[in-house]
């Protein structure tokens, strides 16, 4: 069952490798099936360590990861099925499938990977592959959106990489626990927040999102807005000390930036006429609210347990609803005529749920995050959150308005034909009712969309209660009353509101800084052009002078030497000598590059009994090689991979726990060569001296443990001071070999057995 943790993200990767084959055209529709099975079948707490992958990867499924994996895989399945049917016969379909499956792979990989390297690798793969989805259409808007997206994404990945390196350095492990994360410094936390803020779309780093969503194809927009931007939440919840340490300063920053994002997106979204742009700004507003909740948990760690579950359920509801809204926009344009009424009904259900209308999933999701606002006891924050609820309801009302007054593509094509008379066309349609022949392939996108509608409808029944169903009933009613006059004005006097339509272009802040960017670009180009011309002229003068000098000093001797060197026998011999030298250097390099402390420790720190054991094993191997027939038991040892050597137990290890300890006398652990660490093994508690079971694990201690395990033949990996899967597996094998419980924990009992004996 644990193999599903790998198959969940490897399966779409394998499909991506053959996505250009017509036989795998249905790859996007089935790519997320193993991930859905993993979320439903794998028990919580299942863990799988893969020591050969990258620096040693750890895959596991906890409650938060299962929630994210469940709604993410469902959305990828629906969007993949929609893409398979909607893009059938379209240009560059194979290219879209490749990037779609690669982005899916990265998204699922970072959810299941518990180590820093897996999270970053999945994040980078997802981010770079999404660029291919954004620019898929290839028009001017798509290329501009892709350019903005790629610049911000690459910058975010560089910052996130720095944060991951600092986390590994400060915690001493690539799989940090919440307790380990309490050691993070302000620089590390700031880099982690900044690196993920781009993907979350926080102001002012949000400008890529309203440009990329309308530019990408419909299924790509669904997963971009529904699933991919949620990875920022997962990264913060996983790698910040949530629930372990109060960080009021960083928490307040989250609250302020989250509210700024939530309110900034509302007025710009309300004036948009493109439904995909409006939904993009709605996603920004919702992400801002979720960021506020994360900030509340950093301020009040005591509420983290309940609030983290609420964030997961809120993110899941938003992902399913927003993904379905994007797919519904595509169906409004392309679904067969008889199904258009069902499309409008489905969009209305989704919009009401997104607006948190009572008895919907949105009301239940909003109820789940309310403890975060109640715990802070900030009146102004409660008012601000209430205003965001009203703003979301207004944006969904605007979305329904656009959808109702947007004609399907078939009607637009008939009305838009040149020379057509609308009255004559209407009369003709009344006199000759057209029989539309619907193909089953046209219904596949509708079938892919329907499960999302059903899940949104079932959401309040599965996760809600009677109290949650009526959340914010008064606010929704007040919003409806305030919107009613505006709706009447839009119906009777549309010219009054017409100037507001598309008054702010998507990308908003880019319009303000565009003149500055253009002038800066022109200045850089002019400077580079002038510098290039000057450099070209200078190089030409230098080349000419050198050529004249060489020609003047060239003699017959040089000509003869050149002819000899270019002769094939001499040139071939020199080439063979150089290649032989490189091969010899490559063979000797591992020995030359071996750290001196490891190379010397085997001879100086291993007891005489160990040396004797190695000698006897080597003798057995030598005799086995020289004899014609040897038994299987005597041929197993090998000089290149010796059996692990277990040191004898220290005599003091059996009686040390029974002796009184002295807090002023530190415990010393050494590698037997030149490095010794002093560890505190005794402390005073309530006036009584007691022993400590395990010391704080530092990078220096880990390096000594890794070097000692390598000396004894237990293959702990590189001596880098990072507690990776290879190190823990080596510790477990060593513990099992000496009769200890193989828990992989570095405690004083383990150090006593690893300590070189004098």
Task: Concatenate the DSSP letters of all residues of 458-482 into one string.
Answer: HHHHHH--HHHHTTTHHHHHHHHHH
Give the whole-angstrom CA distance, residue 71 versus residue 227. 8
**Considering only CA atoms, which of 462, 473, 275, 500 is closest in space to residue 389?**
473
Q: Residue 494: count other Cβ atoms within 10 Å of its Cβ.
A: 10
pLDDT at 487 over 70: yes
Contacts of 377 (CB under 8 A, 6+ apart): none
Most confident of 376-380, 412-416, 432-436: 376-380
Strands 667-670 and 688-691: unpaired
More confident residue, 64 or 543: 64
**Considering only CA atoms, which of 323, 366, 316 is closest in space to residue 347?**
323
Assign 3-state DSSP to the chain and report helix, strand, coil percentages, each to 5: 70, 5, 25
Strands 57-60 and 682-685: unpaired
Residue indicated by tokens 């982005």: 103
pLDDT of residue 676: 78
Strands 667-670 and 676-679: antiparallel
Give the whole-angstrom CA distance, residue 740 versus residue 725. 19
Copy the structure tokens of residue 114: 């518990």
What's the average model confidence in pLDDT over 594-610? 38
For 185, phi then psi, to 5°, come to: -90, 170
Give the whole-angstrom CA distance, residue 85 versus residue 71. 22
> Using one digit for the tens of pLDDT, what is the confidence trace for 494-523?
888 888 888 888 877 776 665 666 666 667
Copy the structure tokens of residue 754: 């690893």
pLDDT of residue 420: 43
pLDDT of residue 613: 39
Give the whole-angstrom CA distance, residue 175 versus residue 168. 8
For 357, phi then psi, to 5°, come to: -65, 140
pLDDT at 257 over 80: yes
pLDDT at 608 over 80: no
Copy the structure tokens of residue 250: 């960083």
Residue 394 CA from chain centroid, whole number: 32
**Side-chain-facing half-sphere of 258: CA atoms under 13 Å:** 23
**Considering only CA atoms, which of 71, 180, 70, 191 is closest in space to residue 115?**
180
pLDDT of residue 585: 62
Q: Name 690's bridge partners.
A: 683
More confident residue, 589 or 433: 589
What's the average model confidence in pLDDT over 350-375? 91
Please say whether the beta carbons of 754 and 698 come within 8 A. Answer: no
pLDDT at 333 over 80: yes
Report H helices in 647-757: 652-655, 699-711, 725-737, 748-754
% of the chain at pLDDT higher than 70: 78
Most confident of 42-51, 402-411, 413-422, 634-643: 42-51
pLDDT of residue 134: 94
pLDDT of residue 39: 94
DSSP 8-state code for residue 239? H
> Using one digit for the tens of pLDDT, what is the confidence trace for 692-729?
788 877 778 888 888 888 888 888 877 877 777 778 88
- Assign 3-class secondary structure to 189-221: HHHHHHHHHHHHCCCCCCCCHHHHHHHCCHHHH
pLDDT of residue 426: 39
Give the whole-angstrom CA distance, residue 226 versus residue 73. 11
Give the whole-angstrom CA distance, residue 288 versus residue 314. 13
Copy the structure tokens of residue 379: 């009146």
What's the average model confidence in pLDDT over 224-253? 92
DSSP 8-state code for residue 508? T
Largest CA distance in the chain: 106
Q: Residue 594: count other Cβ atoms within 10 Å of its Cβ.
A: 11
State the Cα angle at 352 between 347 and 356, rounded to 5°: 145
Please say whether the beta carbons of 113 and 59 come within 8 A. Answer: yes
> Using one digit for the tens of pLDDT, what is the confidence trace for 611-629?
333 333 333 333 333 333 3
What sign results for the dihedral spanned by CA atoms 703, 705, 710, 716?
negative
Between 25-29, 46-50, 564-568, 617-621, the lowest mean confidence (pLDDT) is in: 617-621
> Using one digit for the tens of pLDDT, what is the confidence trace for 673-694?
667 777 877 877 666 777 778 8
pLDDT bracket for residue 249 (50, 70, 90) = very high
pLDDT at 238 over 70: yes
Q: What are the distances in angstroms from CA 657 to CA 450, 648, 690, 749?
A: 65, 18, 9, 10
Give the whole-angstrom CA distance, residue 108 versus residue 520. 40
Residue 45 CA from chain centroid, whole number: 21
pLDDT at 353 over 90: yes
Give the whole-angstrom CA distance, residue 676 versus residue 695. 15
pLDDT bracket for residue 433 (50, 70, 90) = very low
Copy the structure tokens of residue 734: 């060593």
Q: What are the distances in angstroms from CA 140 to CA 137, 144, 145, 148, 222?
A: 9, 6, 9, 13, 21
Residue indicated by tokens 């996505």: 19
pLDDT of residue 341: 87
pLDDT at 325 over 60: yes
Contacts of 643 (CB under 8 A, 6+ apart): 617, 637, 713
pLDDT at 535 over 80: no
pLDDT of residue 317: 94
Copy the structure tokens of residue 127: 């981010």
SS3 for 670?
strand
b vs e for 256-268, b when ≥16 Cβ sit within 10 Å of the residue's Cβ? ebbbebbbbbbbb
What's the average model confidence in pLDDT over 281-301? 93
> Using one digit for the tens of pLDDT, what is the confidence trace for 73-97?
999 999 999 999 888 878 888 999 9
What's the average model confidence in pLDDT over 248-271? 93
pLDDT of residue 631: 36
What's the average model confidence in pLDDT over 256-283? 93
Mean pLDDT, all residues of the chain: 80
DSSP 8-state code for residue 113? B
603-607 long-range contacts (CB < 8 A, ≥24 apart) are: 604/672, 604/673, 605/671, 605/672, 605/673, 605/708, 605/711, 605/756, 606/645, 606/647, 606/672, 606/711, 606/712, 606/756, 607/647, 607/648, 607/756, 607/757
b vs e for 339-350, b when ≥16 Cβ sit within 10 Å of the residue's Cβ? bbeebbebbbbb
Copy the structure tokens of residue 489: 């004005």
Name the strand (E) or helix (H) holding 58. Answer: strand 57-60
More confident residue, 592 or 686: 686
pLDDT of residue 409: 55
pLDDT at 557 over 70: no
Name the strand (E) or helix (H) holding 676. Answer: strand 676-679
């Amino acid at each position: 069952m644990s193999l599903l943790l790998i198959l969940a993200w490897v399966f779409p990767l394998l499909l991506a490798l053959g996505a250009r084959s017509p036989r795998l055209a249905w790859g996007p529709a089935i790519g997320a099936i193993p991930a859905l099975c993993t979320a439903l079948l794998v028990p919580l707490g299942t863990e799988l360590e893969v020591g050969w992958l990258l620096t040693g990867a750890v895959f596991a499924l906890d409650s938060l990861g299962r929630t994210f994996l469940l709604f993410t895989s469902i959305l990828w399945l629906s969007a993949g099925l929609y893409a398979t049917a909607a893009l059938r016969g379209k240009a560059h379909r194979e290219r879209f499938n490749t990037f779609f499956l690669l982005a899916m792979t990265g998204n699922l990989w970072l959810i299941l990977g518990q180590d820093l390297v897996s999270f970053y690798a999945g994040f980078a793969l997802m981010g770079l592959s999404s660029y291919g989805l954004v620019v898929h259409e290839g028009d001017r808007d798509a290329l501009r959106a892709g350019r903005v997206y790629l610049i911000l994404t690459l910058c975010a990945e560089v910052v996130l990489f720095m944060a991951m390196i600092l986390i590994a350095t400060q915690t001493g492990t690539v799989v940090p626990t919440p307790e380990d994360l309490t050691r993070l410094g302000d620089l590390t936390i700031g880099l982690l927040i900044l690196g993920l803020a781009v993907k979350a779309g926080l102001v002012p780093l949000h400008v890529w999102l309203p440009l990329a969503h309308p530019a990408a194809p419909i299924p790509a927009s669904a997963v971009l807005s529904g699933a991919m931007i949620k990875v920022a939440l997962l990264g913060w919840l996983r790698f910040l000390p949530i629930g372990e340490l109060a960080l009021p300063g960083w928490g307040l920053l989250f609250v302020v930036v989250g509210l700024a994002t939530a309110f900034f997106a509302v007025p710009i979204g309300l004036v948009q006429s493109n439904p995909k742009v409006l939904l993009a700004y709605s996603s920004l507003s919702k992400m801002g609210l979720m960021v506020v909740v994360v900030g509340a948990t950093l301020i009040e760690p005591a509420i983290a347990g309940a609030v983290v579950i609420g964030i997961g359920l809120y993110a899941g509801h938003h992902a399913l609803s927003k993904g379905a809204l994007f797919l519904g926009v595509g169906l409004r344009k392309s679904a067969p005529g008889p199904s258009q009424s069902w499309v409008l009904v489905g969009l209305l259900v989704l919009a009401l749920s997104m607006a948190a209308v009572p008895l919907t999933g949105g009301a239940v999701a909003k109820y789940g995050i309310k403890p975060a606002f109640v715990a802070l006891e900030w009146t102004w924050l409660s008012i601000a959150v209430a205003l965001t609820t009203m703003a979301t309801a207004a944006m969904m009302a605007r979305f329904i308005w656009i959808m109702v007054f947007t004609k399907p593509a078939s009607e637009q094509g008939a009305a838009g034909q040149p020379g057509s008379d609308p009255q004559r066309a209407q009369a003709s349609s009344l006199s000759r009712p057209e029989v539309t022949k619907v193909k089953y392939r046209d219904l596949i996108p509708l079938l892919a969309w329907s499960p999302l509608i059903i899940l949104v409808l079932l959401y309040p029944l599965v996760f809600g209660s009677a109290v949650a169903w009526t959340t914010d009933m008064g606010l929704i009613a007040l919003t409806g009353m305030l919107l009613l006059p505006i709706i009447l004005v839009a119906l009777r006097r549309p010219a009054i509101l017409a100037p507001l339509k598309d008054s702010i272009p998507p990308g908003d802040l880019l319009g303000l800084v565009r003149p500055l960017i253009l002038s800066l670009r022109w200045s850089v180009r002019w400077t580079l052009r002038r510098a290039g011309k000057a450099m070209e002229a200078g190089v030409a003068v230098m080349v000419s002078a050198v050529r004249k000098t060489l020609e003047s000093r060239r003699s017959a001797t040089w000509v003869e030497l050149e002819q000899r060197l270019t002769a094939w026998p001499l040139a071939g011999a020199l080439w063979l000598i150089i290649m032989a030298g490189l091969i010899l250097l490559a063979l000797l390099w591992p020995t030359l590059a071996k750290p001196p402390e490891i190379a010397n420790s085997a001879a100086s720190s291993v007891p005489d009994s160990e040396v004797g054991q190695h000698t006897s094993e080597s003798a057995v191997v030598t005799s086995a090689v020289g004899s014609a027939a040897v038994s299987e038991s005597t041929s197993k040892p090998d000089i290149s991979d010796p059996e692990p050597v277990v040191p004898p137990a220290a005599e003091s290890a059996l009686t040390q726990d029974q002796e009184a300890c002295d807090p002023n006398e530190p415990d010393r652990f050494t590698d037997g060569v030149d490095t010794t660490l002093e560890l505190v093994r005794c402390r005073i508690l309530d006036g009584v001296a007691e022993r400590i079971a395990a010391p704080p694990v530092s990078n220096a201690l880990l390096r000594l443990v890794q070097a000692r395990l390598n000396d004894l033949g237990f293959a702990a990996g590189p001596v880098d001071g990072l507690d990776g899967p290879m190190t823990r597996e080596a510790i477990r094998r060593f513990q099992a070999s000496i009769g200890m419980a193989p828990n992989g924990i570095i405690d004083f009992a383990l150090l006593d057995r690893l300590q070189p004996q004098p």
